Amino acid sequence: MATIAADGKTLPLVRRLEAVGFRAWPAKSVSFDGSWQLRITPGHPSKRLNSLVPLDPFDSRDMTERLRQAEARFLAEGVTPTVRQSPLCPPALLDVLAGEGWTRGSETHVMGADLDALDLSHGMDHLPSHDIRRFSDACVAVDDGREADAEVIGAIIAAIEPTAGLFLLEDAHGPSAVAICVQDNDLAGLQQVVVRKDLRRQGLGRELVAGALRWARLRGARKAWLQVIAANHGAVALYKDMGFGVIYDYAYWRKESAA
């Protein structure tokens, strides 16, 4: 499935969700080359934190040279060169990436919904934690495939400027599920929703998401959004069942051999 193309109707919403998404998961270093944003966070594997992000589909000047300069910056920081392809990416850049030896990865859905239209009736209400270190440790414990350590995760969470609710479920064996809900004015964004592997498909994810969004709605949020890998069919089905719909897709191009 091809990434959804930009058009006059969706472009303003795409711009806003891309902006709030970056505020909700801030990179350590951010610089600009025209409308191309370079985000670098050494020590964390997140591509959203380490990528070149074109933000104007009409900014297509000197693309090959600008791409090579960004690649050099990534390599100097010990980061795999990565480009984010969203509807804001100049269409002609895709041919340049392919010609320069970059490889396109899988797609991610950006999904959204009006909070009043969502089914948030599942589970108990949960109050967010304010203990960043405890929550960061829980993120590492729940997600056994996570490459970043708790210190790096904690630094990213501490840098989030909008109000962030840190939601944590625990059982007798320790942390069982985590989620971050970032309220940015009328928008509530879900981040890092992970359920411990042995407890998946038991309703914990739905309960945690519903509780986090109820919290955001009480604080004045009116719309919810999230990002989910398109191939994660179970999670996509869950969110659609709750009332979310796909707004647009994005994908990352990487140059693994350069690292």
Residues 76 and 122 in one domain: no
Q: 240 and 134 in one domain? A: yes
Confidence (pLDDT) at 84: 98
> Which residues in the chain belong to E strands, given as ranges?
29-33, 36-40, 51-54, 82-85, 103-114, 163-171, 174-184, 187-195, 223-229, 245-254
| pTM score, whole prediction | 0.91
Residue 256, pLDDT score: 81
Please indicate, yes or no, if residue 5 is contained in any of the structural domains. Answer: no
Q: Are 95 and 27 in contact (CB under 8 A)?
A: no
pLDDT of residue 8: 62
Residues 129 and 103 in one domain: no
Tokens 């959203």, residue located: 48
Same domain? 55 vs 134: no
Structural domain of 32: 11-111+251-258
Task: pLDDT tens for the chain, 259 residues: list them.
Answer: 445 555 666 889 999 999 999 999 999 999 999 999 999 999 888 899 999 999 999 999 999 999 999 999 999 999 999 999 999 999 999 999 999 999 999 999 999 999 999 988 887 788 899 999 999 999 999 987 676 789 989 999 999 999 999 999 999 999 999 999 999 999 999 999 999 998 888 889 999 999 999 999 999 999 999 999 999 999 999 999 999 999 999 999 999 865 4
Residue-level pLDDT at 123: 73
Same domain, 243 and 126: yes
Q: 187-195 and 223-229 as β-strands: parallel, antiparallel, unpaired?
A: parallel
Position 4 in a domain: no
Give me the sheet containing 245-254, strands edge to edge. Answer: 29-33, 36-40, 51-54, 82-85, 245-254, 103-114, 223-229, 187-195, 174-184, 163-171
Q: In this structure, what CATH number is given to the domain that contains residue 166?
A: 3.40.630.30
Tokens in use for 38? 């370079």
pLDDT at position 259, please? 45
pLDDT of 100 reads 96
Q: Amino acid identity of 225?
A: W
67 and 168 co-located in one domain: no
Q: Is residue 3 part of a domain?
A: no
Contact 188, 115 (CB under 8 A): yes
141 and 128: one domain? yes
Q: Is residue 2 part of a domain?
A: no
Residues 69 and 138 in one domain: no
pLDDT at res. 1: 42
Rounded distance between C-alpha atoms, residue 27 and residue 166, angstroms: 19
Question: How many separate domains does the chain show?
Answer: 2
